[in-house]
Amino acid sequence: MPSLTVPIADEEIRALHAGDTVYLNGVIVTGRDAAHKFMVEKYVKVAEVDAAERPLHDELKRLLNGSVIYHCGPVVRQHEDGTWEFVAAGPTTSIREEVYQADVIRYFNLKGVIGKGGMGANTLRACQEQPAVYFHAIGGAATLIAQTVRRVLAVHKLEFGVPEAMWVIEVENFPVVVTMDSHGVSIHDQVEARSKAKLAELLALA
């Protein structure tokens, strides 16, 4: 299975197509509802970032540039020396971030989003423009995915709570499937269309 290493180049993203399976390597950041809302309200939608928020803003701009954000609410363990370990790292449902995701992709120059369940038209459009892709992670495999997390490098906004905090992690051979690509193809849309057609067929037989 081919591998991608962060930061990911535009040409590597454009070479991916829906249905491709890849391993991800490098530094990525977790972010769910609270993190996305925070980034949009404090960074994306303001004329000038507040001085108090500037250090984190600049750090996230550096970390996310050419990188990937992971919709994940991990289970973590803190060791006596203060370091952290991921115990479980399964994907959470992505569609909750649809209202924010396109803006976050463009503002931070993201090349990928990891989650489960797929996303909507706004995110797919941003993937075409950026370019970027949506990577589907395996639901129900939280402990296996946690084994790909080699190091927890930092955590931001821990006041949001462990699941909603922004964890900076280094991953190695994180397995994902491209289900929304930069060419406008969404496997999730295809499945929905086929399901609707099948339902209509069954209803016609009733």
The answer to whether the beta carbons of residues 182 and 59 sit under 8 Å apart is: no
Helices (H), the chain: 10-14, 33-39, 54-64, 98-108, 121-129, 142-146, 187-205
As a dihedral over the C-alpha atoms of residue 152, residue 115, residue 144, residue 160, rounded to 10 degrees, the angle is: 40
Candidates 36, 71, 136, 188; catalytic one: 36
Paired tokens of 182? 């930069």
User: 28 to each of 66, 154, 201, how far by Cα in Å?
Assistant: 10, 11, 44
Q: Quick one: which H or E segment has residue 166?
A: strand 166-180
Nearest to 4 by CA among 19, 35, 26: 26
| Angle subtended by helix axes 98-108 and 54-64, to nearest 10 | 80
- Catalytic (active site) residue 36: yes
Q: Which residues are catalytic?
A: 36
